[in-house]
Structure 1
Amino acid sequence: MLLEVNDLRKYFPGPSGWLGKAADHVHAIDGVSFAIQEGKTLGLVGESGCGKSTVGRSILRLIEPTSGTIRFEGTDITGMASRQLRALRRRMQIVFQDPYSSLNPRRRVGDIVAEPLLVHGIASRSERRAKTQALFERVGLRPQQMELYPHQFSGGQRQRISIARALALGPKLIVADEPVSALDVSVQAQVINLLMDLQTQEKLSYLFISHNLAVVEHVSHQVAVMYLGRIVEYADTKQIFDRPLHPYTQALMTAVPMPDPSRRRQKQHLGGDVPSPVNRPPGCHFHPRCPLAQDRCRSEDPMPREVEPGHQVACHLA
């Protein structure tokens, strides 16, 4: 197993209360567990604010987790020192959501892509340039474009530059944090196909964070559905999309457009808003919006359980 995450939690200090009294913590991640095999993709889906991006950044230790265990290639990296982690970062990279804000507008894109090689002291100057040229060609850009600045590229081209930078050190795992949500639909397809081709060629593993279920179904081998900092359903992609068991997952599935206009899904509208991660509801956190909620759901917190081989659900009614 390439990556194993067990009971990961991240709590942020809440805003100060009345007369400076400390408020409760924001439970951004609250007991998340999953695994990613080498060469596979795990799709992490859920509404905005559910903690998806915090999970990705905590795995890379860009955000320090509050508790839990992160094992990469069999090594526990949760409390690893900065010097040891620096060497490990070569094999763990990230592609951010906004391809413009993640690139330094004052530097040429060739220097941006070559920077990881410089920081880690890999190769001479001429070798770095040759490798950068090869990376540009691999992601579908021309080496002549290395001398340009980020504002001279389209959004899709900027995301290709971000992907080239992530590939520079030869990683095994890439956290793709909403990598196509800021792009036009036609450009999204090109970038997704590029990521899938790179996975085949380099045996890459992805944690693919997205709210677009159609994209997740296309690229993922497994899917984890998050709600309010927790994974409520986790299974192979076919199991999730053919037979969703959690009421929240079922509601999300009804929002996916059907490619055949003659077919329609019966939409399930969720009432209310997502509860605050500071003052979470007792029992099942989803019960205020769940059309099937019972008394047990309002008082007893459901634990993830395997209802069929490889299919875990945190719901009393599944």
Structure 2
Amino acid sequence: MTEALLEVTDLRKHYPVRAGVLRRQVGTVHAVDGVSFTVGVGETLGLVGESGCGKSTVARSVLRLVEPTSGQIRLEGEDITHLSKAALRPHRRSMQIVFQDPFASLNPRMTAGDIVGEPLAVHGLASGKELEARTAKLFEQVGLRPDQMRNFPHQFSGGQRQRICIARALALGPRLIVCDEPVSALDVSIQAQVINLLIDLQRQHGFSYLFIAHDLAVVAHISHRVAVMYLGRIVEIAAKDELFRNPRHPYTQALLASVPIANPLARKLAPLVDGDVPSPVNPPSGCAFHTRCRFAMDRCRTERPALLDAGDGHQVACLLNDGTGRGQ
């Protein structure tokens, strides 16, 4: 078992819904509703699910960019859930993020070199010539030329802008990098280059990734383990090969069945789920997936399944699984 770098236990993030002149609370958005997982040292955990299932909220909560409603976040064994901003500051160097939209996450009025070097300057790690030299080295690590440090973000392509974001994330020597759909805004031809860069950097530096995506092909390429989210909850976690070979949760099976096949003559599978994702303001009782599940039983409407071990580190939150890998 890989040593845990990040441990998240029963993480919840709820947002109040307010209405009326007095802005009274009339409901609650259950964006993240009891999520638990670990990320090992040097490991990539892929987090997948439909849009709106809470993946990005998990990412921002783990980094304390948004404050979790409840739960526990431990980084390298230390509980950082309730640390003040001042106490959290040293831990910021150990965890960084690469956002989905590289253009929106870069200051258009700063040069690329200033953007990448800013974390070093803010944390007092380098200045002057040393800052310039370390920034140039970071540019080279991500496949950019040092003479591009004087250019502004609009002078780069989308793939190059994402490389700048990766270089900025590398600047402080983090142990954990959260990648929030880092290639979804890029052309397919560029996606592979960026993914391979992330893999090469991990091999060189040994840091861990929490990799968030909705593209299963990308997740299969970069991840060691995969966690599947549905409506704010994790419904299945397993090693990558095990999950793609033997998906146990009906939602995971539906996700894999929805992957397009690059063969126009191949027979299309019938959809495995019906209807739309329920609102997180009023999530279903019991198993959140029972309203769309073809295997739903009466008890699924009232019992919330726990994430149980199904053998070989494969965990499933489904009442069809009894914790031993045998269906009930």
Aligned partners of 1:264 and 1:223: how far apart in 2?
27
Q: Which residue of 2 aligns with 1:36?
A: 39
Q: Which residue of 1 aligns with 2:50?
A: 47
User: Could you tell me which of 60, 64, 67 is aligned with 2:70?
Assistant: 67
CA 1:18 to 1:156, structure 2 compared with 1: closer, same or farther past 3 Å? same
Q: Which residue of 1 aligns with 2:308?
A: 305
Deviations 1:138-193 (CA, angstroms, capped at 9, x unpaired): 10000111101000100000000000000000101000000000000110000000
CA 1:112 to 1:302, structure 2 compared with 1: closer, same or farther past 3 Å? same
3-state SS of paired residue (1:218): helix
Structure-to-structure mapping, 1:182-197, within 5 angstroms: 182-197=185-200
Query: How far is the alpha carbon of 1:297 from its aligned partner?
Result: 0.9
Query: How far is the alpha carbon of 1:17 from its aligned partner?
Result: 6.4
Give structure 1 stretches of 5+ with no counterpart: none
Identical pairs, percent: 65
CA 1:267 to 1:215, structure 2 compared with 1: closer, same or farther past 3 Å? farther
**Are 1:106 and 2:109 matched, yes or no?**
yes
Aligned partners of 1:19 and 1:63: how far apart in 2?
25
Is the 1:235–1:312 Cα contact (8 Å) retained in structure 2? yes
Structure-to-structure mapping, 1:138-157, within 5 angstroms: 138-157=141-160
**Are 1:198 and 2:201 matched, yes or no?**
yes
Aligned partners of 2:7 and 2:189: how far apart in 1?
34
**Are 1:266 and 2:266 matched, yes or no?**
no
Q: Which residue of 2 aligns with 1:8?
A: 11
**Are 1:121 and 2:124 matched, yes or no?**
yes
Q: Which residue of 1 aligns with 2:325?
A: none
Q: Which residue of 1 aligns with 2:175?
A: 172
Aligned partners of 2:268 and 2:242: how far apart in 1?
18
Residue identity in the other structure for 2:295: L
Q: Which residue of 2 aligns with 1:89?
A: 92
Aligned pair count reads: 318
Residue identity in the other structure for 1:276: S
Q: Which residue of 1 aligns with 2:257?
A: 254
Is the 2:176–2:208 Cα contact (8 Å) retained in structure 1? yes
Aligned partners of 1:287 and 1:177: how far apart in 2?
28
Runs of 4+ residues over 6 Å off in structure 1: none
Task: Name the TM-score, length of structure 1 as normaliser.
Answer: 0.97
Query: How far is the alpha carbon of 1:86 from its aligned partner?
Result: 0.7
Aligned partners of 1:189 and 1:117: how far apart in 2?
29
Residue identity in the other structure for 1:285: A
Aligned partners of 1:257 and 1:133: how far apart in 2?
41
Give structure 2 stretches of 5+ with no counterpart: 322-328
Range 289-298 or range 204-213, more displaced? 289-298
Q: Which residue of 1 aligns with 2:284?
A: 281
3-state SS of paired residue (2:50): coil
Range 9-18 or range 306-315, more displaced? 9-18
Query: How far is the alpha carbon of 1:24 from its aligned partner?
Result: 2.1
Deviations 1:256-275 (CA, angstroms, capped at 9, x unpaired): 23456675562434211111
3-state SS of paired residue (1:14): strand
Query: How far is the alpha carbon of 1:63 from its aligned partner?
Result: 0.6
Query: How far is the alpha carbon of 1:295 from its aligned partner?
Result: 0.9
**Are 1:215 and 2:213 matched, yes or no?**
no
Is the 2:12–2:68 Cα contact (8 Å) retained in structure 1? yes
Is the 1:155–1:183 Cα contact (8 Å) retained in structure 2? yes
Query: How far is the alpha carbon of 1:194 from its aligned partner?
Result: 0.2
Deviations 1:28-76 (CA, angstroms, capped at 9, x unpaired): 1111000011111000000000000000110110011011111100111
Query: How far is the alpha carbon of 1:304 from its aligned partner?
Result: 1.3
Is the 1:254–1:265 Cα contact (8 Å) retained in structure 2? no
Task: Name the TM-score, length of structure 2 as normaliser.
Answer: 0.94
Is the 2:272–2:294 Cα contact (8 Å) retained in structure 1? no
Aligned partners of 2:270 and 2:138: how far apart in 1?
44
CA 1:317 to 1:118, structure 2 compared with 1: closer, same or farther past 3 Å? same
Is the 2:18–2:24 Cα contact (8 Å) retained in structure 1? no
Aligned partners of 1:21 and 1:40: how far apart in 2?
44
Residue identity in the other structure for 1:295: D
Is the 1:135–1:168 Cα contact (8 Å) retained in structure 2? yes
